[in-house]
Amino acid sequence: MTKRPVLNDQQFSLKMQGVSDIYAQMQQELFDNMIKRLIERGSADLQENPYVWQLEKLNDMHMLNEENLQIIVERTGIAEDLLRDVIENEGLKVYQDTKQQLAEDLNATADGTVRNGVTSSLEAYTAQAISDLNLINTTLPKSIQKTYKSIIEQSVAEVVAGTKSSDKAICDTIMKWQKKNFTVFVDKGGREWRADAYARAIIKTTIFSVYNEMRTAPAKEMGIDTYYYSKKATAREACAPLQGKIVTIEGEEHTEKGVKVYALKDYGYGTAGGCLGVHCGHYLTPFIIGVNELPDDPEYLKDLTPEQAEENARIEAKQRALERAIRNQKERVHVANQLGDDDFALLERAKLRSLQSKIRAYVDDYDFLHRDYTRERLY
């Protein structure tokens, strides 16, 4: 009797999302703290004594730094504890569940032994992720200082030039810096990464690396090197031909018991842009030829061709861009509320509603798209 392989376990991804949320919340909290310092009334008035106001605000920087360091230490400490717990406990659970399932498929008894290499690998993933995320701890304080100083200088320049009132100058300058926010990393292409976006990228990469390794490790222990390559509506060029197929990590392309087995190394495996590369989103499920059978595709995937999957990926990319725009707009509404400018907040809320209408119409145009509100929320 053939058996269907057990596919993706969402619990691991959901718990890792909680780590991303902590960094997003921290980024917003730090920006709010800076706004509070900037709009706080002191002894000097920006309109009447702009340079005295500037000096007073710059003198406040040390207090801002102390407050922010406390927030960063507290939030990142919580995030690191959660990250360690999820990777080492939930990751281990993925390994154990997969091993148990394979034993059942082979009519064998799982010995329950966890190889040293598995625990070492999980510890290494934890250490690497924490090391990468520590870049935020070291660069964020300086980024906040730079942003704070720039907002002060630009606000003073506009008031002195007579182009804006003091309230308008501060409000406009803060909103101008809102999108860039606090950056912690510049990549090889010159793109500046906000702390929350950088954390999200690190965590997403870690999720799929840990998940795939904990799925393949038990198979390797049992001498299995054939896997079901997950299938979804969207795929990059290297992944599209492999979707829903049986693949091998180590071996060559071959046919086994009438089943064609594709070699991952023929599709860029191990490279950033290849199959299972950066931001790929696919995963492997151990598949025993002659024991397991291919899972049934849902209706919307049954007639999907590789070409359609690639085109769908381009369509989905536009949805992702709209989701980012909505998150950014929600942040703008939040900042406008923090500034206490009711008229400006009203305008920003109208822009948000427009973007939400736009994504609603866009998703309705394509059957394979669906509205994922978790991607549209701030945290």
Per-residue pLDDT tens digits for 138-152:
999 999 999 999 999
Contact between 222 and 95 under an 8 Å Cβ cutoff? The reply is no
Residues 313-369 pLDDT 10s: 999 999 999 999 999 999 999 999 999 989 999 999 999 999 999 999 999 999 999
Closest CA to 5 of 299, 293, 260: 293
Q: How confident is the model at residue 21 (pLDDT cuts 50, 70, 90)?
A: very high
Distance between CA atoms of residues 315 and 313, nearest Å: 5
Q: How confident is the model at residue 10 (pLDDT cuts 50, 70, 90)?
A: low
Residue 246 host element (H or E): strand 246-248
**pTM (two decimals):** 0.87
- For helices 10-39 and 61-85, angle between their N-to-C axes, nearest 10 degrees: 170
Q: Which residues of 63-91 are buried (b: 16+ CB within 10 A; e: fewer)?
A: ebeeebeeebeebbeebbebbbebbbebb
Q: Which tens digits make up the pLDDT trace of 77-123? A: 999 999 999 999 889 999 999 999 999 998 887 777 787 789 999 99
pLDDT tier for residue 3 given thresholds of 50, 70 and 90: low
Q: Which residues of 319-343 are buried (b: 16+ CB within 10 A; e: fewer)?
A: beebbebbbebbbbbbbbebbebee
Q: What is the dihedral of CA 134, 138, 140, 145, to 10 degrees?
A: 170
In this structure, the chain runs to a length of 379
Q: pLDDT digits over 119-133, tens only?
A: 999 999 999 999 999
Question: pLDDT tens-digit profile of 29-79?
Answer: 999 999 999 999 887 789 999 999 999 999 999 999 999 999 999 999 999
pLDDT range class, residue 1, cuts 50, 70, 90: very low
Sorted by sequence, the CB contacts under 8 Å of residue 378 that are 6+ apart come out as 24, 25, 28, 327, 330, 331, 334
Domain boundaries, the chain: 1-222, 225-298, 305-379
Do 17 and 374 contact (CB within 8 A), yes or no?
yes
Q: What type of residue is 115? A: R
